[in-house]
Structure 1
Amino acid sequence: RGVVGIISPWNWPYTMPAEMIAPALASGNAVVWVPAPSTSVCAVKLAECIVDAGVPSGVFNMVCGPGAEVGDEVAANPGIQAVGFIGSIETGQKVAARAAGKALLLEMGGNGPVVILDDADLDAAAEESLTSAFLGAGQSCTAGERFLVHERVYDAYLEKLGRAIEREIKLGDPFDPTTTLGPLNNEPTAGKMDQHITDALEGGAELISGGSRAKGFPTDLYYRPTVLGKVGAGMRVSREETFGPIIPATIIRDEGEAIRTINSSPYGLLSAVFTQDLARGLRFAEAVRTGWVNINASSNHWESHLPFGGRSGSLSGVGRVGGRYAMETFTEFKTVILSLG
């Protein structure tokens, strides 16, 4: 297409930009990359790797600075022919408006519903829930942030989940190899955790474990792994993207209720279901309006060669990253008809 602008977030500061920069370059484009200001040091290291790989001067460019200024300029600049963005829904919508008329690839938010059906392997579901909710301290667009648990297995699931958390989740220094849960990235993210938990408890949810920031650490950004029970659909933790180490559990009567709950959400990025009936899992995958469905696997199970993105018409984005799919967005298709008569 020409020049592709890439705007990337602070979470997964190598993976997120790479999944757009690589296909943009491979498709023959020049790239102007705007990384998140809070992870600029990581961005410089990735840029050095790209330069050291022998990319010609001027083909790959990085511009650091406040996203509202630098990102806005890249999105709107007439010298940019396509824009790839990963980040929040609010910012993504602003980018889409500023880049109107250009090819767009937008990967935005979700709240990762994880469904535990009555025939699920509860040991496996509890184990995978740890990865869903606590990988990267829950700071991922694929994090499980809404757990819909069948009423018949609700108590048993929470019991197994509690034991799994006690056994495997260790809050601590990210550089300590025994740590499995590190701090949150910034105060606004931690503050949103505070707000969502307070709102849920005031609305009648049960605090099963965690629920507050941890003491005795270098910063106030370490959050205890949190489990909430009897979470209602109207609570902020159900309606919004929390982006923290939290498992909000909601009781459902059947899989139909789970499907209706997911499909009524404005999000459409990803969902997961646990069932020992493969046909049931596939029916669920067909029925839910999300761009990606994991059956008997963590919501954070992701493979880079597969198409990943939000369902059309949702707030979760437009287009697909992964494998060749981003290359299609970053390639200009032209039809040429030659008459030989």
Structure 2
Amino acid sequence: MGEHIREKLMTTDLRAPLNDLPELAQDLGNYIGGRWESDEAETFAAINPATGGELARLPLSTRETARRAVAHAKAAQPAWARLSTWDRATLCASIGDAIAAATDDLARILSMEQGKTLAEATGEVTATAHGFHMSAELVRYMTGEVQTGQTPDRLFLTQRHPRGVYAVITPWNYPVMIPGEYLAPAIATGNAVVWVPAPTTSLVAAALMRVIASVGLPDGLINLVLGQGAVVGDEIVGHEDVQGIGFTGSTRTGKSVAERGAGKPMLLELGGNGPVIVRRDADLDLAAEAAALGAFMNSGQICAATGRVLADSAIAGELAEKIAEIARSHKPGDPLHQGTTMGPLNNAAVVQKTREHVDEAIAAGARCIAGGHGLPDLGSDLFYAPTVLVDVTPDMRVAREETFGPVVPVIALDGDDELLRVANDTEYGLTMAIFSRDMERAMAMSTELSAGIISINAHTVTWETHMPLGGASGTKSGIGRLGGRHTIEAMTEMRMVTIPAPRFAGKDKG
């Protein structure tokens, strides 16, 4: 996540006809209790956003289907939890191996259904395989403690145990990697899972499930239920036999999940509007490249994307032009084509929101110096040009909400105090970035910011799968930390067992 991929784009090897789905994506549906099912009364279409063409039809599941999935997970979990940690780790690592072996096919399906470039898709699948290997290693060395207390004849042991059945609901922007961030630690620690993916990327989710199931999962350990989140997602979150919840998605949906699952342990990774703060002494080429990468990678559909650039007024104009130059150099198009550096947005709702934010800003006095329009000549209404806006004010929607499209609003401000004030004037607190040649000053500024991740002289999407990702307290960016040992710990509960303390009995009678 965050790796600059333009050099890779020109060397991507296309090994199959552009419009052909790999065999891995054929005849997929729900996966419940170790069986594939596709017998729902209604179906929905998996769509290629670059062409508008239908890729497949998938079952539109009901609440009853979701309840059956929970029942299978509940039945499978106790035996899975009783296995040794090493046995669970071995299976988890085998899943990582299987995903790595299927990288080419999974990446192609991901690119065709989600819309990201093939190079980005390949990187996402590779990161997912790594995540399963990482969870396998981390869980082997999960520890507890032995403590003494005021009672002299007792010892107190703390141990980590699985929570039970996890409801996992995942979004469409990273529909392979984000599921892996929940599934791998969940099963490594002894939990069972019911997984509901976003409808617009359900085909690649089912393909990933097929790869995971190929290693020989116990029946019911991971169950995939396809359908609308308001139906099947709502059902599993509120189900009495679900003990934990993992959700990545919008702040609005996250609030509904939190209310429906009140009282259950939750990992909620929600929205962001990450400011890139650029002081007047910054390396402007570095700052422009980072801001552009954070805004245009995955067509801006990243919770940690560059939400807005807050630049000292002395350098704001020059910085904006450098970002605009990068924007104009991008080559939107079919994400499977060599040379394409940006694919379409995933769905009509995000295009509409992007268009509204840009158009409203221009109507209120902002100027567009790059992009600012759709690209219907590319074959789909879901393409939107990389966009840079100047003369943006902090009160505009494009500066206050999560656009989730390829847009960089540049706000000119006077001095560090104003930069900090506007950066913190937000409901979000996921990621932020500071650019300055004065490291001491940048570090001091970082202590005044409220975000889960603050990067100095790097883009807002600076993160690796073993690092903690999550929102600052009191913001709308989520609860808990996702990544590495942090997820392992969150998906287990601490239990204490007390035992008699061993006492020296006197002379050796041997």
The TM-score bracket by the shorter chain reads over 0.9
Say whether 1:103 aligns with 2:103: no
Number of residue pairs matched by the alignment: 340
Please point out which of 359, 373, 379 is paired with 1:212: 373
1: CA distance, partners of 2:415 / 2:215: 53
Say whether 1:287 aligns with 2:448: yes
- Is there any run of 5+ residues in structure 2 with no aligned partner, and where? 1-162, 504-510
Residue 207 of structure 1 deviates from its aligned partner by 1.4
Say whether 1:313 aligns with 2:477: no
CA contact (8 A) 2:164 2:191 kept: yes
2: CA distance, partners of 1:120 / 1:281: 10
**Paired letter, 2:221:** V
Equivalent residue, structure 2, for 1:338: 499
Residue 9 of structure 1 deviates from its aligned partner by 0.6
Residue 165 of structure 1 deviates from its aligned partner by 2.6
2: CA distance, partners of 1:204 / 1:249: 13
Say whether 1:75 aligns with 2:237: yes
**Aligned partner of residue 271 in structure 1, secondary structure:** strand
Please point out which of 39, 48, 73 is paired with 2:210: 48
Please point out which of 324, 328, 343 is paired with 1:182: 343
**Aligned partner of residue 179 in structure 1, secondary structure:** coil
1: CA distance, partners of 2:369 / 2:425: 27
> 1:85-124, aligned counterparts within 5 Å?
85-124=247-286
Question: C-alpha offsets along residues 205-264 of structure 1, whole Å, 9 cap, x if unaligned?
Answer: 111121110131111111011111011111110111000000000011122222221222
| Structure 1 residues 54 and 287: CA distance shift in structure 2, 3 A | farther
Equivalent residue, structure 1, for 2:430: 269
**Aligned partner of residue 324 in structure 1, secondary structure:** helix
- TM-score when normalising by structure 1: 0.97
Equivalent residue, structure 2, for 1:235: 396
Residue 166 of structure 1 deviates from its aligned partner by 2.9
**Aligned partner of residue 494 in structure 2, secondary structure:** coil
Equivalent residue, structure 1, for 2:98: none
| Structure 1 residues 107 and 60: CA distance shift in structure 2, 3 A | same
**Paired letter, 1:264:** D
- TM-score when normalising by structure 2: 0.65
CA contact (8 A) 2:328 2:386 kept: no
Residue 321 of structure 1 deviates from its aligned partner by 0.5
RMSD after superposition? 1.3
**Paired letter, 1:129:** A
**Paired letter, 1:151:** S
1: CA distance, partners of 2:458 / 2:216: 39
Please point out which of 145, 157, 162 is paired with 2:307: 145
Equivalent residue, structure 2, for 1:328: 489
Say whether 1:16 aligns with 2:178: yes
Equivalent residue, structure 2, for 1:304: 465
CA contact (8 A) 2:327 2:387 kept: no
2: CA distance, partners of 1:245 / 1:325: 31
Residue 339 of structure 1 deviates from its aligned partner by 4.5
2: CA distance, partners of 1:258 / 1:29: 45
Equivalent residue, structure 2, for 1:170: 331
- Is there any run of 5+ residues in structure 1 with no aligned partner, and where? none
**Paired letter, 2:217:** V
Say whether 1:32 aligns with 2:168: no
2: CA distance, partners of 1:208 / 1:136: 21
**Paired letter, 1:293:** I
**Paired letter, 2:190:** G
**Paired letter, 2:474:** G
1: CA distance, partners of 2:176 / 2:466: 16
**Paired letter, 1:102:** K
1: CA distance, partners of 2:479 / 2:232: 22
> 1:251-266, aligned counterparts within 5 Å?
251-266=412-427
Equivalent residue, structure 1, for 2:383: 222
Residue 162 of structure 1 deviates from its aligned partner by 2.4
2: CA distance, partners of 1:53 / 1:121: 49
Question: C-alpha offsets along residues 62-88 of structure 1, whole Å, 9 cap, x if unaligned?
Answer: 111111000001110011000000000
Residue 301 of structure 1 deviates from its aligned partner by 2.0
Q: Share of identical aligned residues, percent?
A: 45
**Aligned partner of residue 306 in structure 1, secondary structure:** coil
